[in-house]
Amino acid sequence: MEKYEQLLVSLRRVIRAIDIHSKQLSKFAGLTGPQLMVINKISQLDGPMAKQVAEEINLSPATVTNIIDRLESRELVIRVRSQTDKRKVHLYLSEQGKELHKAAPKALQEHFIKRYQALEEWEQSQLLSAVERIAYMMDAEDLDAAPVLVVGNIHSVENQDNDKNSSS
């Protein structure tokens, strides 16, 4: 097998691993990767606002608001308007959201990050450089992407959810 074929096979394996994990997460809790990240961040912070969650997980505020809307409709997240500043809305997990959070599998990126950080500094730099070069070679360096390991574009995940909701 040519080296470029070996590289393409390895890239396909990465994509498949992400896809399999996303499907397991969806099957377990009916959550997408970004939804789990929002739940995790709300759990970690004390009554954050949507903007703060968006900044913490590197997604746009509009995307996070859309995700929170879906989580709220499933009664996993509660919005509470501030008593001191009515413009502010704080986010909390409901009891059901807390239970789901405790039982949810780890996000794939958490496992990856742990292994990546265990590498020597030079190995981390070498991997980063190689993957950045691959993104460049695939004309993908300017594509909008958050550090969330899910298959496809975040917006396509939202559109799929919206399509499901509108057909129900």
Return the closest-CA partner of residue 45 out of 56, 34, 35. 56
Report if residue 47 sits inside a domain.
Answer: yes
Confidence of residue 156 (pLDDT cuts 50, 70, 90): very low
- Is it the case that residue 142 has pLDDT exceeding 80? no
Which CATH number belongs to the domain containing residue 80 in this structure?
A: 1.10.10.10
pLDDT computed for residue 67 by the predictor: 95
Q: Taking residues 43-61, report their average pLDDT.
A: 92
pLDDT band at 154 (very low <50, low <70, confident <90, very high): very low
Average pLDDT over residues 144-148: 59
167 in a structural domain: no
In a domain, 30, yes or no: yes
Instruction: Provide the domain limits for residue 109.
Output: 3-161
Q: Is residue 166 part of a domain?
A: no
Element (H, E) at 93: strand 89-93
Domain count of the fold of the chain: 1
DSSP conformational letter for 92: E
Q: Is the pTM of this model over 0.85?
A: no
